[in-house]
Amino acid sequence: MAQSTSFLGNRNSTMSGLSSLSSPLLSQATGLAALAAPSALTIANLPRWIGVRQRFEQFHRNLGLTPLQQLDGHTKREGVVSCLNRSYHGTTSRTDNSFFIGSWGKDTAIRPPRDVDIYFLLPATVYHRFQTYTWNRQSALLQDVKDKLAVTYPTTGMRGDGQVIVVNFGSYSVEVVPAFELQTPGRYWICDAHNGGSYQETAPWAEVDHIEATDSANARNLRPLIRMLKAWQACCSVPIKSFHLELLAAAFIAQSPWRLKDWFYFDWLTRDFLAFLYHRANSTILVPGTFQTIYLGDAWQSRALSAYNRANKACAHEYENRVAEAGDEWQKIFGTDIPRVA
């Protein structure tokens, strides 16, 4: 990539002056404003950050599902749906009465693929049949769906997991969520077999719309950020759910000063998110559509702090054009999908 003194203008002739979250901890009062607090460059017309744009652009390319992985996911979904349609709807359709949810539904999946999550819509007659059960109707319903799948996949490992049936294929699993469509558009009941069983109302399309609207409003930077955070989650075994990371990333990017920038700012964008995340320990988030409150806990907070401090070092190396040293720090956070040398 051709370099020029425009880099100084692109970075507002600044560099972050924050050295560490741990000493002292970044306060909630200063928040991300402290991260953006600049110290003026003293060397004029010297290109800086020469490796950032190429590094993060390549990182994002490395995270994308390959065509074969996408085909594999669609094929596995279609096989499962065809089996269930024959059993519950009397059709052989490979897609009807189903749709992707989770990372496949929101277009935030990364490679290697994790689970493929789908809703399968059951007819109302199934709901009424299981209403005659006197104990844990939801557990019995999940078992019924599992039994239907076992006819087609007799040697494939399966298990019920509270709300889903996990079909353990060789490359990755398909998680089937049996659901009933409600009269309110976009709303569904899904099973929850815990604590004696109940139905939980969900609004999966509201979640998709939230990610899409936020991504669109922020220069299409949200989904790349989410994919990178999932790479950190996997590389560092961060005990936080992907769904929670998605919602937190959406909340963060809407107020980030770098939200409308390009790849050239992704070092600061990822670093600042980790500071934002650190301060969300023991707080709550709301699920779009249902407005369910989710408690975030703090099991992941120490990993967020460690990742932030490494990111802060990497950003300093990027500014000084120590490309390989920056890459070493980034790889401690994200793994080898992010290039060591851009």
Encode pLDDT of 156-198 as tens digits. 999 988 899 999 998 789 999 999 999 999 999 999 999 999 9
Please report the pLDDT score of residue 23 as a whole number: 36
Tell me the whole-structure pTM to 2 decimals.
0.89
Residue-level pLDDT at 5: 29
Q: Per-residue pLDDT tens for 116-165?
A: 999 999 999 999 999 999 888 999 999 999 999 999 999 999 998 889 99
Q: How far apart are CA 219 and CA 88, in angstroms?
A: 43
Instruction: Specify whether the CB–CB gap between 248 and 276 falls below 8 A.
Output: yes
Instruction: Say how far apart CA 37 and CA 233 lie, in whole Å.
Output: 28
- Largest Cα–Cα distance in the chain? 78
User: How would residue 16 be classed by pLDDT, with cut points 50, 70 and 90?
Assistant: very low
Backbone angles phi, psi at 193, to 5 degrees: -80, -5
Using CA atoms, how far apart are residues 56 and 258, in angstroms rounded to an integer? Answer: 14
Go through the domains of the chain in sequence order and give each one's CATH number.
6-48+207-334 (no CATH), 67-202 (3.30.460.90)
Q: Which 8-state DSSP code applies to residue 94? A: S
pLDDT at residue 33 above 50? no
Mean pLDDT score across all residues of the chain: 89
